[in-house]
């Protein structure tokens, strides 16, 4: 890919807009998270200069130098599998955690957030596709999980997150994204959270348009936006 970062940002935003139009949604309801895990501090800085506000990283080890330099700009999203012993590193730095997938992690997030006197916005990661290589709670476990964390007052459950299997034809991912939306609506009907769960974090470079058509409110885009470091 020889296009510049600015061209790619513009192209992605056109594609988001068209997917919204196709599905009768407002493009203001969809936020692009630029996933910078493959790229350098310089490139991450250029993304912020280019007008994107939301940065996604999946490992603290890769994010640390970028956050230290740029953490005062933009909004930071932790999107990868989060080890319990890394909670202390990310709490207070990442405003959103997309990968809450177990009670022990919820406990530790609550403990550290409470100690810091802050709230942390979380998405619960759900394994809709049922692939055993994917992290995430089984959909059937969600009601009990929400009941268990109901008293964790510093965790604000704002949404659900999922990852679809990689498919050559993105259309094949549609049932996964639709499944997450339907699960959200069903859970809201059970009224297990103080506020309804509104957000859906779903869609990556290969499948974000389908995810948007199915209701994504946050798309997490790496390759299509910033490429890999060897490229440009």
CB of 151 to ligand PLP, least distance (A): 28
Does the protein bind ligand PLP through residue 62 (CB under 6 A)? no
Which of 20, 105, 197, 221 forms a contact with ligand PLP (CB under 6 A)? 221
Which of 39, 79, 100, 126 forms a contact with ligand PLP (CB under 6 A)? 79
Site for ligand PLP in 121-180 (CB under 6 A): 163
Extended beta strands in 41-197, E state: 54-57, 75-78, 96-100, 120-125, 155-161
Cα atoms in the Cβ-side hemisphere of radius 13 Å centred on 151: 1
Site for ligand PLP in 1-60 (CB under 6 A): 35, 37, 58
Q: What share of the chain is helix, strand, coil (3-state, %, to 5)?
A: 45, 15, 40
Burial class (CB in 10 A: 0-12, 13-18, 19+), 94: buried
CB of 173 to ligand PLP, least distance (A): 12
Q: Which is nearer to ligand PLP, 170 or 222 (CB)?
A: 222
Cα 117 to the chain's mean position, in Å? 24
Which residues sit at the interface with ligand PLP, rule CB under 6 A? Answer: 35, 37, 58, 79-80, 163, 204-206, 220-224
């Amino acid at each position: 890919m020889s296009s510049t970062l600015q061209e790619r940002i513009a192209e992605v935003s056109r594609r988001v807009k068209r997917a919204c139009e196709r599905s009768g949604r407002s493009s203001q309801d969809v936020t692009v998270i630029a996933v910078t895990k493959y790229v350098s501090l310089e490139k991450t800085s250029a993304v912020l200069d280019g007008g994107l506000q939301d940065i996604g990283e999946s490992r603290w080890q890769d994010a640390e130098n970028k956050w230290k330099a740029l953490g005062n700009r933009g909004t930071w999203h932790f999107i990868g599998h989060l080890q319990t012993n890394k909670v202390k590193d990310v709490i207070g730095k990442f405003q959103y955690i997309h990968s809450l997938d177990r009670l022990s992690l919820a406990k530790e997030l609550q403990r550290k957030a409470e100690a810091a006197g802050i709230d942390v916005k979380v998405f619960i990661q759900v394994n809709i596709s049922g692939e055993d290589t994917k992290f995430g709670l089984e959909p059937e476990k969600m009601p009990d999980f929400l009941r268990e964390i109901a008293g964790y007052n510093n965790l604000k459950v704002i949404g659900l997150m999922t990852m679809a299997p990689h498919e050559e034809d993105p259309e094949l991912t549609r049932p996964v994204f639709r499944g997450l939306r339907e699960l959200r609506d069903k859970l809201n009907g059970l009224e297990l959270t103080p506020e309804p769960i509104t957000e859906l974090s779903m869609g990556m470079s290969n499948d974000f348009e389908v995810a948007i058509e199915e209701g994504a409110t946050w798309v997490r885009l790496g390759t299509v936006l910033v490429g890999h470091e060897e490229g440009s």
